[in-house]
Amino acid sequence: MNINAEEEIRKRAKNVSRDDMEDLLGKESTAERPSKKAGFLSQYWEDIKTSFSLIKDWFNGAYDEIPARMIASLAAALIYFVSPIDLIPDWIPMAGLIDDAAILAFVFKLSEADLNIYRRWKRKDSAEEDAVEVVDV
């Protein structure tokens, strides 16, 4: 079976709604299992976690420095990944995750710059929250 990741993501991203994203946000733990179970997927775990965080911050209005089309693509890839029903069913040992890996690899390559910008923003935001104001008395 030939997997055209670009075509699959574009098709699915067009149909991602805010409700789909909201449903997705509760499924990060669902994504962790196959990421740790299949060694070839572990390379994507940091990007998967970052994508969940980015979508959450975008959804809540905390971060809007990414095009909605890219958010939809990331959400579509994660929805595809956590769904047991896709081109190659996940219950088929190893082969069931190959299509997921292809989709993730494509969307993470496509969104690499946006994910890196978000990571820098997140680190800066976290550092500002951790800063303690010093007051002279």
Query: Which residue in 48, 28, 35 sits closest to 108, CA to CA?
Result: 48
- This prediction's pTM: 0.80
Q: What is the pLDDT of residue 57?
A: 96
Q: What is the pLDDT of residue 39?
A: 73
pLDDT, one tens digit per residue, over 68-120 is 999 999 999 999 998 877 766 666 666 778 888 889 999 999 999 999 999 99
What secondary structure, in 3-state letters, does 24-35 show? HCCCHHHHHHHH
Contacts by residues 85-90 (CB-CB < 8 Å, ≥ 24 positions apart): 87/1, 87/3, 87/8, 88/1, 90/34
pLDDT, one tens digit per residue, over 9-64 is 888 889 898 899 888 988 888 888 777 666 778 889 999 999 999 999 999 999 99
